[in-house]
A and B are shown apart, each in its own frame.
Chain A
């Protein structure tokens, strides 16, 4: 189960709408081993694509340095799907490389950049196996 603050969910939806129709991506980091997402960082989608995302390698390295210095890790990796449902694509599954992370997907397929229905779902992806999990939103 993923426990996540309402403010973080709102921030992720806002990011996804802002970048629609391109995919938006980012992380929530937290203390190493805590499984508690505390600080959200929007990341650049270096591919600026409606069908693909990749963290900018320089920005990812700076994030790594910060986390290393503070004994933090990636607790949530989020990204949006802008044309399809909030379920991991084949590429998402093949490239998932953060075994400790919750993979949060947001779909803006129905409402685009506007207010309206968005789908938010969370998964574990380990060795090619996707397991959906509950999301508990905390205030």
Chain B
């Protein structure tokens, strides 16, 4: 078991086209670091210096982490992380 991370279309260039990848870690931050090791470049598209990128939404088990623990949100085997680019513009 591990954490399943759902990858949006636009970031599948980093995962060889895979819609989901597996990662390990006790927090969202750890999981992102873990998948970065196998899919280099992905992390930079998700996080910046001060946390999650503003126009990236991340949900752990259906909860938007921006309203919870952010990158410190705990994760465990069997959890599902969904990454959705914000649909936004001007």
Chain B residues near A (Cβ < 8 Å): 8-10, 55, 57, 59, 62, 64, 66, 82, 84-90
Contacts and interface: CB of A to CB of B under 8 A. Distances in A.
Contacts of A53: 88-90
Interface of A: 25, 27, 43, 47, 51-55, 57-58, 60-61, 64-65, 73-74, 77, 79, 88-92, 95-100
B89 A60 contact: no
Contacts of B85: 95, 97-98
Contacts of A100: 9
A58 B86 CA distance: 11
Contacts, number: 68
Nearest to B6: A68
A92 B89 CA distance: 4
Contacts of A92: 89-90
Contacts of A99: 9-10
Nearest to B10: A97
A55 B9 contact: no
A95 B10 CA distance: 11
B89 A88 contact: yes
Contacts of A79: 89
A133 B87 CA distance: 21
13 contacts: A52-B90, A57-B64, A57-B66, A57-B84, A57-B86, A60-B57, A64-B82, A65-B62, A88-B89, A90-B90, A92-B89, A98-B10, A99-B9
